Amino acid sequence: MSPGPVQRPTRVIPLRGFGTFQADNAAYPPGTAKAATLEALKVGYRHIDTAYAYGNGQVELEVGEAIRERRIPRDEIFVVTKLHNTFHDPADVETGLDFKSKTRSTHHPLNAPPKIRDTPNTDPS
């Protein structure tokens, strides 16, 4: 089976997405992620990939600012993020998702979902 877009009854996630992995403020001046995302939205990107780990949340904030500034309707865009490792314990997932929704003001699909169950750490040595 060849890879294809993830489909919902009325929406299709674009196969090509705009990644923001290296747009953090450690490597670039503040505002770089926002400017790049604004340009991506201008040329038609509607699938944006980001994560809290990119610049300690700054990139996610700038992506959100760009989307709000361009006034892209929520049903026309897919912002994909990751649940930070801090929240991968099943007991912490709800807290992590609540944190993301409060600080980012949009709901995101996750492409790094939490673990399903605890597994013991094993040392192969």
CA pair distance 36, 27, nearest whole angstrom: 14
Q: For residue 105, is it left (φ>0), alpha (ψ between -120 and 50) or beta?
A: left
CA pair distance 65, 73, nearest whole angstrom: 13
Options 28, 45, 52, 54, the catalytic residue: 54
Alpha helices in 13-84 (DSSP H): 32-42, 58-70
Give φ, ψ of 14 to 5 degrees. -60, 140
54 given a catalytic annotation: yes
Alpha helices in 1-125 (DSSP H): 32-42, 58-70, 93-104
- The residues that are catalytic are 54
